[in-house]
Chain A
Amino acid sequence: MSTLEQLKDQIRKALPDLDVVIGWEQGYDAMHATPLYIRKEEDIDRLIWSPLCVHSLGTYLTGLTRTPGAGKIGLVVKGCDSRAIVQLTQERMIPRENIVLFGVGCTGCLSHARLEYKVEQGGHYVEDMHSITFKGDKVEVAVNGDVETFDFDTVCLEKCLTCRFPNAIATEHFAGEEVPVAPKCDKAPSLEAFEKLSLDERFTFWQDQMRRCVRCYACRNTCPMCVCRDHCISTSRNPHWVSQETSSAENFMFQMIHTMHLAGRCIECGECQRACPVDLPIMLFRRTMVHAVKNTFDYVSGADPEATPPLLTFKVEEDNIKERGW
């Protein structure tokens, strides 16, 4: 039985006790998936599972579980998605007992941006792509009568290259086989390149990037860890903490707020960058912060349900922070 069939089977059995199960279905064209709310048994037929299933569905939980009369909620999760649930549970942001996870092993998700770039480089128009097939480590795209084949690694999301958690963890159900843990590199190539820049060059880099941020807050709202929702400091009007002006400086300020609020919490699902309509390299902030937390607290967010996140506790003397004798 395929992973998808197993998944459908598990959902079908569990659905009578659940309000809803959130998974993915085919979106508005062959290239896109979209979140699916399964409420009735016949909805299960629409469920899909493929590298198009990019969305981290945990982002809906903080809202859904607070809806009056909310019952039990099921969620299909990839490895990265499941880490968000672990972290949210540790923070007591979601009633974990009312959530049922349907885990899968993930071999990586498609980056539409990278694929479109590749297809254009090949002399095609991106709108001429009419089907996509994932075959092991290859991707076949039917484009304007031709079939273009790409290595999956060249068109997957960058987060998938460094992924150490392809399999969903701490779930009630698991469909299909576990996927071997096989990161392609230790550090994301974009971060590797960024870190070679001098401080001045980095400043210029961000000034140039941040100018086009429109502050739509797609990065914030797709983030499963952004739990403030309607009460974010960046949009509060009273007090008026953050200017509504969209300039490089103000946009950078907002991005810094987001980054700082994710310290020790970010599970690197990459949804912020995927959601960004103007393709800002937001993951540079996230990964830098993740590295800082790893180096300082030797902690990986959302990886172990039994652990206590470092910023939810304290040690009189931290191992790596020399408070005395600077």
Chain B
Amino acid sequence: MEAKFISQDDTTLWLDELAERHVVLAPMWDNTVVTFRPHVKGRTPVLDRMPVLPPKEGVFPQNEMLLKYKHDKDPENLDRTRVQVKETLPQETAVVVGARPCGTRGMLVFDRVYNCEKIRDPYYVSRRENTLFVTVACTRIESTCFCHDVGSHPADTEGSDVLLVPVKGGYVAEAVTERGEELLKASFFKSAAEKAQEAEGVKQANRAKLPEPHDYAGSGEKLMARFDDMEFWTEQSAKCISCGACTYLCPTCYCFNITDDSVGLSGKRLRTWDNCMSFQFTLEGSGHNPRPTKAHRLRNRVNHKFAYYPELHGVIACCGCGRCIKSCPASVDIRAIVKAAQNHTPKQEEGSDER
């Protein structure tokens, strides 16, 4: 399909129109930071930077009520309690506007887990099928960016329905999917004409800003070779403070916790984001914890993205957005950890210690 052009001002009007039919999540100033928030009529979205929070909220909200329940005493037999359960499947349709290609592409990591042959998570699938992604090509290459190291680039359309490329005065919009094409039928989109050329230039220029890509091929095997090397993991995790900023800000982290919030005899079952950096994540009912230290937990986070998931699904489960590095209170750098495993030279005594 031919590329379209939408002006800066029309973009807000377009979101106003979309918001009449869908939940529109767009980046906006939230006091001093930019987060994804429901679009408010007339408010200009902040499309010139990567939001602090990932776009996953649209499909995998931090809080999701799975069901409501109510306990009733049987008046005939007070020893008996009946439970009424009401599922709360999401119904609304949503458009996530203003994610970067890294974040949108990151959502594909979820699909292989929550919508596959073996498992079909009805809450996730319902949201996923009812959510469109209008992504903005990236023009801000930061020191924490490494999308190109993990097989992507600043104008990647993978996972998007529409890609907006910033040009003078607005955006050149390219439909990626049929549903994206439908979105571009709105009256605000004009023929892009010569602006399409400008958009190509923007894409090339930003691709060129990235340094030579690092090759993560084979990193999974290298990380697994270090699996039992707790000295390695203790060293790598030494400055980690074991908080959940990296995982909650990660576009590809999909783990959740389920808890019941009861008030009296009724309540709700909540699904909330969980994070593998937390001690409680693997704490078993017996009190045993297979990942008792932050070294064990950081190993899991890194390995999940660069070893376990690739082994199961054939792709690295990291989109290279760099949020985990940028927002880490201790500046832990996942790139450096994987590289340390890749560059690890076994000590001499290894191999002679066969028992």
Chain A residues in the interface with B (C-beta under 8 A)? 27-29, 31-37, 55, 59-60, 63, 113, 117, 125, 127, 208-209, 211-212, 214-218, 220-222, 229-231, 235-237, 240, 243-247, 271, 274-275, 277-279
Cross-chain contact A55 with B330 (CB below 8 angstroms):
yes
A127→B143 CA distance, assembly (Å): 7
Give the residue name and chain of the A residue nearest to B332 (CB). Answer: A34
CB proximity to A under 8 Å, residues B325-355 = 325, 327, 329-333, 335-336
In the complex, what residues of A have CB within 8 A of residue B77's CB? none
B residues near A55, Cβ cutoff 8 Å = 329-330
Query: Could you give 23 example pairs across A and B, Cβ below 8 Å?
Result: A27-B333, A28-B143, A28-B336, A31-B143, A33-B331, A34-B239, A59-B241, A63-B294, A127-B142, A209-B31, A214-B53, A214-B62, A216-B243, A230-B280, A236-B280, A237-B283, A244-B270, A246-B63, A246-B272, A275-B243, A277-B248, A277-B249, A279-B33
Q: Is the CB of A222 within 8 A of B279?
A: no
Q: How far is the CA of A59 from the CA of B278 in the complex (A)?
A: 16
Q: How many cross-chain pairs have Cβ atoms below 8 Å apart between A and B?
A: 126
* C-alpha spacing A104/B141, complex, angstroms: 36
Please tell me if the beta carbons of B30 and A125 are within 8 angstroms of each other in the complex.
no
Contacting pair A28 B235 (CB below 8 A)? no
Q: Which residues of A contact B303 (CB under 8 A)?
A: none
Cross-chain contact B35 with A212 (CB below 8 angstroms): yes
| A278 CB contact (under 8 Å) in B35, B141, B235, B275 | B35
With a CB–CB cut-off of 8 A, which chain A residues contact B243?
Answer: 216-218, 220-222, 275
The 8 A CB mask of B129-144 against A (1 = contact, 0 = none) is 0000000000011111
Interface of B is mostly: loop
Q: Contact check, B30 vs A240: say whether CB atoms are below 8 A apart.
A: no
A200 to B96, CA, bound (A): 34
By a CB distance below 8 angstroms, the chain B residues around A275 are 241, 243, 245, 329
Q: Nearest residue in A to B261 (C-beta to C-beta)? A: A243
Q: Is B187 an interface residue (CB 8 A)?
A: no
Q: Which residues of B contact A208 (CB under 8 A)?
A: 31
Residues of chain B within 8 A of A247, CB atoms compared: 63
Q: Indicate with 1 or 0, residue by residue over B98-122, a CB within 8 angstroms of chain A CB atoms.
A: 0000000000000000000000000
A208 to B35, CA, bound (A): 13
Contact A222 B241 (CB under 8 A): yes
> Taking the nearest CB of chain A, how far is it from the CB of B339, in angstroms?
12
